[in-house]
């Protein structure tokens, strides 16, 4: 698997209809292959919209958007998606949920047995392969959703607030696990979050969006060595990144009403 780059130039997105809003305007972003890029911004600024455009689930109204050098025109091959809510199918076991993308792609399920076992072990779910989603905790379901997104080795992984519904402790664990998984897979990740600390902890870069219509207001490069222990969040260097991003939100006049949290 070669990781995919993502390039956005002057991307505008206007939703159709009488109440259709302009969600994005002039989005320029260059996401290098194999990078982990966090996207942070106030509620409603178009973060999910951009992710859906990259995934080919929405058309852009203007500009250019490429994945792996090819213009996005419908859902491209090789993109894994994880949403805030896991979207596992209740009537399928965890193993069968993870195998869904393989079935959809018309590939031979038997060829993926070892891969599924590896993913289950990597995420600590090896004893739950035959369980059903309702038998798992929220964090475990989200880990299963990550396995499903990774099973076909996607060059690009899009994550839309994947840990937003989890309690703080589970979220910390998932942050650490996601970093470990990514260091093993090294695919390109675009990770949307409301959490400044989460964005900095995980990202090689943090793209901060302006209020709607969203555009990239600032790009922070996070120069912290990996693997990053959770305790890195207590270091002055980490605090400096968080402080800079908070100040930027302050300058945009947003900090009090954004719903941007620091956890
Ligand atoms: N399918 C849709 N049809 C029409 N308008 C939409 C649609 N999806 C989103 N919007 C509008 O586009 C704007 C951006 O929404 P989007 O969900 O991309 O924001 P967001 O930054 O992800 O927000 P949040 O952080 O609250 O999840 C909002 O004003 C929203 O109402």
Model pLDDT, residue 98: 96
Tell whether 100 and 214 lie within a shared domain.
no
Q: How many angstroms separate the alpha carbon of residue 145 from the centre of ligand 1? A: 23
- Per the structure block, which two tokens stand in for 148? 């499903």
pLDDT at 150 over 90: no
pLDDT at 263 over 70: no
Nearest CA to 40 out of 261, 219, 192, 172 is that of 192
- Per the structure block, which two tokens stand in for 211? 């209020």
Mean pLDDT of 120-145: 92
Q: What is the CATH number of the domain that holds 19?
A: 3.40.50.300
Tell whether 129 and 259 lie within a shared domain.
no
User: Is 27 close to ligand 1, i.e. is its CB under 6 Å away?
Assistant: no
Nearest CA to 95 out of 132, 149, 143 is that of 132
Model pLDDT, residue 32: 97
Q: What is the pLDDT of residues 20-49, one digit of tens each?
A: 899 999 999 999 999 999 999 999 999 999
Which of 36-40, 118-122, 253-257: highest mean pLDDT?
36-40
Full DSSP string of 77-131: SSEEEE-SS----TTS-HHHHHTHHHHHTT--GGGGHHHHHHHHHHTT-GGGTTS
Question: Which of the four pLDDT bands, split at 50, 70 and 90, describes residue 86?
Answer: low
Question: Which of the four pLDDT bands, split at 50, 70 and 90, describes residue 76?
Answer: confident
Tell whether 15 and 65 lie within a shared domain.
yes
User: Is 232 close to ligand 1, i.e. is its CB under 6 Å away?
Assistant: no
Q: What is the pLDDT of residues 176-234, one digit of tens each?
A: 988 988 998 899 999 999 999 999 999 999 999 999 999 999 999 999 999 999 999 99
Cα 184 to the center of its chain, rounded Å: 16
User: Is 259 close to ligand 1, i.e. is its CB under 6 Å away?
Assistant: no
Tell whether 137 and 165 lie within a shared domain.
no
Atom of ligand 1 nearest to the CA of 209: 21
Q: How many angstroms separate the alpha carbon of residue 47 from the centre of ligand 1? A: 8
Tell whether 140 and 205 lie within a shared domain.
no
pLDDT at 147 over 70: yes
- State the residue range of the domain holding 113: 85-153
Which residues, in sequence order, are CB contacts of 31 under 8 Å at separation 6+?
5, 6, 7, 37, 188, 190
Atom of ligand 1 nearest to the CA of 45: 21
Q: Is the ipTM of this complex over 0.85?
A: yes
Dist CA 131 CA 77 (whole Å): 29
**Among residues 107, 136, 153, which one ends one of the domains?**
153
Of 3-7, 98-102, 118-122, 126-130, least confident by mean pLDDT is 118-122
**Among residues 153, 172, 200, which one ends one of the domains?**
153
**Among residues 153, 176, 200, which one ends one of the domains?**
153
How many domains does the structure of the chain reveal?
Answer: 2
Dist CA 130 CA 201 (whole Å): 33
The sign one gets for the Cα dihedral 91, 126, 230, 240 is negative
- In sequence order, what are the beta bridge partners of 71? 66
Dist CA 186 CA 141 (whole Å): 22
Tell whether 58 and 184 lie within a shared domain.
yes
Tell whether 28 and 142 lie within a shared domain.
no
Q: Specify the pTM.
A: 0.91
Tell whether 45 and 166 lie within a shared domain.
yes
Question: Which strand (E) or helix (H) includes residue 173?
Answer: helix 168-185
Question: Which of the four pLDDT bands, split at 50, 70 and 90, describes residue 252?
Answer: confident
Tell whether 132 and 178 lie within a shared domain.
no
Tell whether 176 and 111 lie within a shared domain.
no
Q: How many angstroms separate the alpha carbon of residue 23 from the centre of ligand 1? A: 7
Question: By percentage, how much of the chain surpasses pLDDT 70?
Answer: 96
Tell whether 1 and 45 lie within a shared domain.
yes
Tell whether 66 and 166 lie within a shared domain.
yes
């Amino acid at each position: 698997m070669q990781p995919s780059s993502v390039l956005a130039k002057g991307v505008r997105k206007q939703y159709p209809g009488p109440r259709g809003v302009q969600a994005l305007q002039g989005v320029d972003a260059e996401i290098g292959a194999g990078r982990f890029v966090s996207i942070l911004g106030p509620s409603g600024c178009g973060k999910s919209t951009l992710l859906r455009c990259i995934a080919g689930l929405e058309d852009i109204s203007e500009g250019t958007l490429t994945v792996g050098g090819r213009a996005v025109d419908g859902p491209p091959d090789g993109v894994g998606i994880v949403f805030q809510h896991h979207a596992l199918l209740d009537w399928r076991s965890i193993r069968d949920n993870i195998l869904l993308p393989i079935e959809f792609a018309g590939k031979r399920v038997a060829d993926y047995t070892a891969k599924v076992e590896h993913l289950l072990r990597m995420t600590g779910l090896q004893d739950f392969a035959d369980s059903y989603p309702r038998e798992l905790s929220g964090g475990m379901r989200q880990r299963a959703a990550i396995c499903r997104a990774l099973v076909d080795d996607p060059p690009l992984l899009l994550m839309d607030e994947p840990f937003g519904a989890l309690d703080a402790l589970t979220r910390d664990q998932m942050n650490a696990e996601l970093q470990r998984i990514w260091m093993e897979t090294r695919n390109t990740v675009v990770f949307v979050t409301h959490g400044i600390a989460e964005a900095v902890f995980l990202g090689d870069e943090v793209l901060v969006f302006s209020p709607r219509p969203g555009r990239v207001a600032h790009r922070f490069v996070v120069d912290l060595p990996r693997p990053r222990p959770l305790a890195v969040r207590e270091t002055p260097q980490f605090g400096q990144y968080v402080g800079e991003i908070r100040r930027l939100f302050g300058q945009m006049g947003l900090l009090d009403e954004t719903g941007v949290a620091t956890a």
